[in-house]
Amino acid sequence: MSRRVRTSLLAAALALPLLAAAPDQGSGDRPRTGFETSNGARWTTQSEEQHFLAAVDRASGRVAVDRIGTTRQGRPLELVRIGAPRAANTLLLICAQHGDEPSGREACLTTVRDLAYAEDQRTLRFLKRTTVLLVPTANPDGRAADTRGNADSVDINRDHITLATAEGRALAAVIRDHRPDTVYDLHEYGSTSPYYDKDLLTLWPRNLNTADAVHGEAKTLSEQYVRPAAGAAGHSTGIYGIWTDPVTGDPVRQVAGDGQERILRNTAGVKHSVGLLVETRVDPLTDAEQADPALNNRRRVHSQLAALDGAFAFTGERRGRIEAATTAARLAGYADRGPVALGGADNDPAEPAETIQDPPCGYRLTAAQYARTGDELALHGVVVRREGAGAYVPLRQSLRALVPLLLDERAAYHLTAGQPDTSC
């Protein structure tokens, strides 16, 4: 086993309640989730989440809980900050974008508490150098209804470009304002036996506009930290979207996991964060899990917690490399050089028609276009110069590759078709 597979920063300080044989072991006076008090028999309700977060916030000076939006049905979207508020390295956990995938949310909630109450020096040193941000429930309406989409049946994880949902807009503002070095997105998936049935799957940004060093760190997070950490805890792992032969382990076909810029792991890469998607298997693994849903639920959450161990180890051990990669990527756009990919992926080269080989200097927007898209551009953090009633969006900026994805008529999910400026 690689030396990088370390004891978790959290587990070093605390015996995680999820791993306890009985629901009341080792918890003391610390707040507990509905999932924990039921020993996995049910998921934490929204009201339980609210009381849990409020209790943690009151009990720990290193925790702050802020409301970052409101869903269509009036539920709060909340951001939890733990640790140094202005640290050089920021890790963002996004939980439950899909409302019917609850295991990541439970792992995030207990992680909030365990970091808040940790007293060991290793974790305290980590929190002095790291800002940990969590959105415990990114889709509260979907979680309440146990649906993939939000109250309007929109898949939030396909809304990170157009920002048509309150949930997508809130997450975009968090990424704009905090510029996380790592964006870790927790999901669940349904298996297809025998080709697609691992306990836990991961995938990095495949979008071709992700800077090479950021892409490399994302693969390192997946392959040298998260998957080995889950494996060390007894869970099988694989690559999301790739069916493999159960005997040889060779790829059979790709069924998901492309380079669409509107998916969070890809949006994160385009915005110069080390993105990672993590998917836990929903289906029971054994006859015992089939007979006892609580046992299946605990395994799902345990696999998420084990994978999170790897994410924290990655952040602690590679912070210098991570910060160098994300900082260089954020500065590279000011040089305004190189093509912009409108399609393809890191395992699927873009066709000539999917590549802007010689991008324009920028895009001009009419007054009507800017009125329709100005808020979204601002939420993305795109630099815009007003020109009379309209606007000009230069490519020479940190989010250089994002601009054509938003404003070029050839981009699959563009906000509007701006007028290319080729005068440079």
User: What are the beta bridge partners of residue 355?
Assistant: 341
H or E stretch at 183: strand 182-189
For 191, phi then psi, to 5°, come to -80, 160
Q: For 17-328, which CATH class?
A: alpha beta
pLDDT at 11 over 60: no
Chain segment 136-170, per-residue pLDDT in tens? 999 999 999 999 999 999 999 999 999 999 999 99
- How many CB atoms sit inside 10 A of residue 268's CB? 29
Chain segment 159-209, per-residue pLDDT in tens? 999 999 999 999 999 999 999 999 999 999 999 999 999 999 999 999 999
CA distance 338 to 358: 7
CA distance 122 to 159: 38
Q: What is the pLDDT of residue 23?
A: 34
Peptide bond between residue 85 and the one before it cis (omega within 30 degrees of 0)? no
CA distance 19 to 17: 5
Name the residue among 350, 144, 390, 324 with its Cα closest to residue 261: 350
3-state secondary structure of 219: helix
Q: What is the dihedral of CA 368, 405, 326, 97, to 10 degrees?
A: 90
Q: What is the pLDDT of residue 424?
A: 85
3-state secondary structure of 86: coil
pLDDT at 78 over 70: yes
CA distance 385 to 314: 39
Section 262-274 average pLDDT: 98
pLDDT at 261 over 60: yes
H or E stretch at 230: helix 227-232
CA distance 67 to 74: 12
H-state helical runs in 130-165: 140-145
- How many CB atoms sit inside 10 A of residue 424's CB? 11
Chain segment 373-420, per-residue pLDDT in tens? 999 999 999 999 999 999 999 999 999 999 999 999 999 999 999 999
CA-CA-CA-CA torsion sign (309, 130, 35, 18): positive
pLDDT at 312 over 80: yes
pTM of the model: 0.94
User: What are the beta bridge partners of residue 29?
Assistant: none
3-state secondary structure of 248: coil
Whether 122 contacts 9, CB under 8 Å: yes
So where are the chain's domains? Answer: 17-328, 336-421
CA distance 306 to 403: 37
pLDDT at 125 over 60: yes
pLDDT at 9 over 80: no
pLDDT at 17 over 80: no
pLDDT at 22 over 60: no
Q: What is the pLDDT of residue 29?
A: 85
CA distance 133 to 71: 20
